[in-house]
Amino acid sequence: MIITILYYLLVAYVVFLMTWNILKSKKWQEEVLYVIVLIPFLLRLLRLK
């Protein structure tokens, strides 16, 4: 259970990093890439997949 919670915290951190990168990026291609990477982490964080 503790390991699972730690993994969810890691996922939340990646979601935060991806969102931060989108906001800081200056190229639209990178922003699209960050969004694509963000989706599976977001779905796991919301316990949808």
Assign 10 to helix, strand or coil. Answer: helix
The two three-digit tokens of residue 18, written as one number:
């991806």
Please, what is the minimum distance in Å from the beta carbon of residue 37 to another protein? Answer: 10
Please, what is the minimum distance in Å from the beta carbon of residue 12 to another protein? Answer: 14
**Which residues contact another protein (rule: CB under 8 A)?**
3-4, 7, 19, 22-23, 25, 28, 31-32, 35-36, 38-39, 42-44, 46-49
Please, what is the minimum distance in Å from the beta carbon of residue 25 to another protein? Answer: 8
CA distance 25 to 7: 26
The two three-digit tokens of residue 48, written as one number:
């949808």
